[in-house]
């Protein structure tokens, strides 16, 4: 079926989004076509505002409002500035903030090391992290990269770079999920759970 160019352009644009295939893109495009015009206007305005009104925090590289040098978390005097949790991206900050238990500060790497894709240490925010820790006042750096090959490699690299600075470097615990059965766990998960066992008190 040959579609009018504006519809095909929208489908092509939607297909570029993560998790959206050709069928989902077509459904969304036709939904927008039938929906009230205000929905399309609101969406267009929201997308434009996303680029115009959002910037990166100069300290932690999380998102913040354009025109602000530092984000709300970095400016909050009640947060413990001596602990930095290092994350891959801003979505990870949301996950930890929803939990409400972490009261330190963050550092968003904006990616992970991936030599196959040509992403090296200078392509993500490792150097600013090292400089931030070197300035002093940091007692612990929590490496909270994802438990993947790239996440582990990034954590290992950062840990090695931070070692001479005399700061405590920790890694998020990994292992069996609550309610999980041992028989269904893969070998890597079981090994990490065994290695990360704790004293019962």
Contact 105, 142 (CB under 8 A): no
Q: What is the pLDDT of residues 57-86, one digit of tens each?
A: 999 999 999 989 999 999 999 999 999 999
Domains of the chain, first to last: 74-171 (3.40.1360.10)
Contact 89, 125 (CB under 8 A): no
Other Cβ atoms within 10 Å of 135 Cβ, number: 7
Q: What is the pLDDT of residues 6-45, one digit of tens each?
A: 889 999 999 999 999 999 999 999 999 999 989 989 988 8
- Please tell me what DSSP assigns to residue 156: H
Q: What is the pLDDT of residues 109-149, one digit of tens each?
A: 999 999 999 999 999 999 999 999 999 999 999 999 998 89
State if pTM tops 0.85.
no
């Amino acid at each position: 079926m040959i579609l009018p160019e504006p519809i095909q352009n929208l489908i092509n644009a939607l297909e570029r989004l993560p998790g959206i295939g050709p069928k989902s893109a077509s459904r969304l495009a036709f939904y927008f076509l039938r929906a009230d015009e205000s929905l399309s206007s609101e969406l267009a305005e929201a997308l434009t505002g996303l680029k115009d009104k959002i910037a990166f925090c100069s300290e932690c590289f999380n998102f913040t409002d354009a025109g602000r040098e530092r984000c709300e978390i970095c400016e909050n005097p009640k947060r413990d500035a001596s602990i930095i949790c290092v994350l891959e991206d801003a979505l990870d900050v949301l996950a930890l903030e929803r939990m409400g238990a972490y009261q330190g500060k963050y550092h968003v790497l904006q990616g992970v090391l991936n030599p196959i894709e040509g992403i090296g240490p200078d392509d993500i925010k490792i150097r600013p992290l090292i400089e931030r820790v070197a300035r002093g006042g940091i007692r612990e750096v929590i490496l909270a990269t994802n438990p993947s090959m790239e996440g582990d490699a990034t954590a290992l690299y950062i840990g090695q770079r931070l070692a001479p600075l005399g700061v405590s470097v920790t890694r998020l615990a990994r292992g069996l999920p609550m309610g999980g059965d041992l028989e269904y766990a893969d070998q890597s998960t079981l090994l990490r759970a065994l290695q990360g066992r704790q004293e019962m008190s």
